[in-house]
Each structure stands twice: as C-alpha cells, then as structure tokens.
Copies of this chain bind each other. A is one copy, B any other.
Amino acid sequence: MDLRHILPATAFLLGTAAGALAEDPAPRARHIVLFLVDDLGWQDASLPFHAERTPFNDRYRTPHLERLASEGMVLRHGYASAPVCTPTRTAIHTGQSPARSHITYWTLYADRDQTGPWKRSEGERLVAPDWRKEGLGPDDPTLARLLAQAGFWTIHVGKAHLGGIGSPGEDPRALGFQVNVAGHAPGGPGSFLGLHQFRANGRQGKLGASVWDVPGLEDYHDHDVYLTEALALEACREVREAARAGKRVFLSFAPYAVHAPIMANAKYLANYPDLHPTEAAYATMVETVDHALGALLATLEAEGILDETLFVYTSDNGGLSAHARGGERHSHNAPLRSGKGSAYEGGVRVPWVVRWPGQVEPGSASDEPVISHDLYPTLLAAAGLAAPEGHAVDGRDLRPVLRGEGPLDVRPLVWHMPHFWGVHGPGIQPYSAVRMGSLKLLFFQGSQRLELFDVVRDPGEQTNLAQERPEDLRRLAGVLAAELERRGAQPPLLRVGEAPAVPARGVLEVLADQERGR
C-alpha cells in the first residue's frame, strides 16, 4: 500500500472543510459512539422492534440493549442502506446512498468483482455494472475525517470493510480514523476464536484463505478469547485512554459478530439448550455482542462521559437466513420476509436504538422510517458540523425525530443493488426499491417484476398490491425512477446473445409495457 494515502488528506480538508455551524444553538454531543453490529437481524434481540413481542425476543438475550433502549429511543422502522455490508457501511460514512456512491456491493479486492462466479444472475442474463469496487478512499469526506478535523479522537475497532485490498481505503486510517484496531478490507473473520488466532486455517478442515485473518490482535492469539470480547477490551481501553486525556471521542465499533462463520461462544451455550446447534451458536454470538455493548457502556459510565455521548446502535444489513443457519431457510427474521441479500424487509430492516441524554426521551420510540445514511448528517449536526459544500448527501438530519418533534415530511428511502448475492432466496436478485410512507415498491430488473407492499400493515410483504393499486404503483415507480436518475444510479447490464451488454430496462419502461399489455 502507498503509505502517503494513510496520512490525513490535508489538502482536501483545508480545501473543502466542513463548516462549523457557528450559529446553531443546538446542544452538541461531546462524544459519539457508532455501535454497528454485523448482519444483526431485526429480531436478533430480546428488545422488540416489531409492534408486538415475538418468539425471537424470548430466544435472544440482550439486556444491555434493553437498557440502552430504556434510556433512549427505539426506531422501529430503521433500515440499512443496503442488504449487504459494504454499501451500508460506506453510506454511513458519506451520507450517500449506494445508488449515488456506486458502492453497490460488498468489496474485497479493489480490482475484482466479488459477485465472482455468480456475477450473472441465473437465467436472467444480467451482469453487474462497473461499480466502485475499491470502496472509499482518501478523497471522501468521511464522517471520521470531518470529526477528526473538528477535534475528535477518531477510533475504529473491529470490522472495517470500507475499501478493497490494494486501495488506500482498506486501512481505516486512510479514511479519517486516527486509531484502527483489527479493521481491514475483508468483511468477515477467519475465525472468532483466539485459539485459532482468528484465522480461517485455525478452524477444523482448513476452511478459507489467509485473506480473512483478522489483523492486529496478536495479543489474543492462542488465548481462549472470543474475537468480539477482544475487540470490546481494546475499544474500552482506547476510550478510557482518550477520555482520561480529555479528548472528544468518536468510536466506530463493529464487533465482526454476528457475521459468518457462525461459531459459538461456548460460555453462553448453556443458555440455549433447546435450539438447533447452529441457532444456539448464533444466539451466543448475539449475547456476546450484547456483553460488548455492556462493557462499553460501563466504561463510558466509569469515565464519567456516558451522558455526554450520543450512542447509536444499529446493524449493516438484515440477518443471515438464506444459508448457513439452522432450521427453515428464510425464516430467521420473521415476521419479516427473507434476510441478508434480499430486497425484502428481512434484508434491510434492522435494529436501531439511539441514546442521547438531554435530547432523546428515555424509553421513547418512533415509527419514522430512517436509513443508515441518515447517520452522516445527523452525527455531523450533533457535533456542530455540516457536510462540506458540494458533497451531495442523501441522508436526512434525524435530530427532529430523535427529539420527538414529530415526523419528517414524507420522503423516499431508496435502495439500489444491481447485483446478485449468489445465494438463492426470496428477493435475492438485482433490484431497486423505494419506500414512501407506508408503501414500498420493489423492482427486480432480471425478471422485470414490480411488487408493491404496505409494509406498515403487511411487514412480511405477503400481499403484493401491484395489481390492486395501479396509481400507487405508477406514483412510486415515478419516484423511484426520478431518484435513481437524480442519484446517477447505474443499472445492471443485460447481455444480449454475444452482443455487448446494454443497460437493463428501467422501472418506467417496464411499467409502461405492463400497462400496455394489461
């Protein structure tokens, strides 16, 4: 890697620096913690995010998340920017939806498409557009860079997955973080066990390649410590040091869990005696993440800074359900449909809790639809900052929602993933989608299928309203087409015989054809 890229992009900062909102009288968050769990599904908590309690809420043990919620706000219609990891993560850091950033899929090597052997969605002759496989880079005005510039001590601990191998952004220090513990390009760990040195080839059967080796945690190698526990120890150590030095802290904590490989933290297995072994292992991962949350809250409290901290807890996409889980496939996010990789709610609806004393009413809740890239303007504003001029932002400042000042004006939340995730399942296809109010339109480019759901009344997306409500269908198709165009979204490509690929048809063309045929 070119080490120059690791240095702060000073020229950029001086040139287009975020302006401090000097006149803004709003209270500021002295510290910010972004607790971004990996692949955590909407139901992977003892805290309910659904309108009613579910069996999953009784299965999982997340008392510290329950505490966080009792001291903050639960956002029950919280979304991830994408149904896979990188696009959500990068959207948080830039405020740009994947449709705009062209970081539309998960990254690994900066010069290779990870859609790999399944690049073409079976039978549909679609291929991915030339998306931004290198991820974020030193020129992006990331949250961490802007906060660092404003005097925050910016700490990243855990999974980064923000830039591809061979690009500067593979190291979070090239993206504004002053400290990086264990973050690099890949999106999963070789192993969760210190006894495996967090390497894939430490696991039985020599699964996986060394590219997944978690870097920088040598101190924990050969100890019987779970990866997430090691990360929690490191994060707390960094926060404690920074707090004692009087620094403003921005901590980005990403515990690798509950991403695959699903590996039990043995100490909690006895809590799940009746579950399928894989599901028991998964439940221990959820519990381990909650312990990490508890440790972090305890450290902030012990250092006397918890109540000066804006604390966000969320996930980067829906819960894994198409493979590698126990029990029935596509069932793990019920009542939502499908899971990670899917256009349906199970792929993008995720836990969201925000704690911000003095600003957020303890024990409050909101049904406002919110999405990961809203965090960029929200956290900047909470720190007294704004995005640099000229940097287009798709996210919205959520402070009015957090303060309970009523709903935002109705706005479109847009998803765009012109890639096939490779594992088959409901809604796991190249797609674009929009949610407006309670309605959600899905457009699958391969099958040219349009689906319309009322996700408030029908969160499981069981009743397709496309036939029944043609005006809403037309209205939302118009919104989606306009938003995709406005954001410069790249459609997937259609390969026609041996001819060069051409852009797949857009939602309006498909709709017009359907209306003509009806």
Contact = CB atoms under 8 A, between A and B. Distances in A.
A26 to B, nearest CB: 32
A222 B298 contact: yes
Given A267-B266, A270-B266, A270-B269, A223 B233 contact: yes
A270 B302 CA distance: 34
Interface stretch (A224-232, A428-436, A439-447, A508-516): A224-232
B229 A223 contact: yes
Contacts of A270: 266, 269-270
Interface string A220-250: 1111110001001100110010000000000
B265 A236 contact: no
A301 to B, nearest CB: 9
Interface residues of A, number: 26
A236 B223 contact: yes
A295 B223 contact: yes
A416 interface: no
A460 interface: no
A332 interface: no
Contacts of A232: 223
A357 interface: no
Contacts of A295: 222-224
A56 interface: no
A267, A268, A269, A291 interface centre (most CB from chain B within 10 Å): A267
A237 B225 CA distance: 15
A291 B218 CA distance: 16
Given A267-B266, A267-B267, A270-B269, A229 B221 contact: no
A224 B219 contact: no
A294 interface: yes
Nearest to A219: B237
A331 interface: no
Given A265-B267, A270-B270, A233 B229 contact: no
A219, A222, A229 interface centre (most CB from chain B within 10 Å): A222
A218 B225 CA distance: 18
Contacts of A223: 229, 232-233, 236, 291, 295
A299 interface: yes
A298 B196 CA distance: 12
A236 B224 contact: no
A299 B223 CA distance: 10
A222 B232 CA distance: 10
Interface in A197-223: 218-223
A143 to B, nearest CB: 27
Contacts of A222: 236, 294-295, 298-299, 302
A294 B195 CA distance: 10
Contacts of A219: 233, 236-237, 240
A21 B225 CA distance: 43
Interface string A269-280: 110000000000
Given A219-B233, A267-B266, A269-B270, A225 B225 contact: yes
Nearest to A291: B224
Interface string A179-197: 0000000000000000000
A295 B236 CA distance: 23
A220, A295, A302 interface centre (most CB from chain B within 10 Å): A295
Contacts of A220: 233
A222 B295 CA distance: 5
A291 B237 CA distance: 24
A224, A266, A269, A294 interface centre (most CB from chain B within 10 Å): A224
A43 B302 CA distance: 42
Contacts of A294: 222
A229 B224 contact: yes
A48 to B, nearest CB: 24
Interface of A: 218-225, 229, 232-233, 236-237, 240, 265-270, 291, 294-295, 298-299, 302
13 contacts: A218-B240, A219-B240, A220-B233, A222-B294, A222-B298, A222-B302, A223-B232, A223-B236, A223-B291, A223-B295, A266-B268, A267-B267, A270-B270
Given A221-B298, A266-B267, A266-B270, 5 more contacts: A219-B237, A225-B225, A225-B229, A265-B267, A270-B270
Q: Which 9 A-B pairs have the closest CB atoms?
A: A222-B298, A267-B267, A266-B267, A223-B295, A224-B291, A222-B295, A219-B237, A223-B233, A223-B232
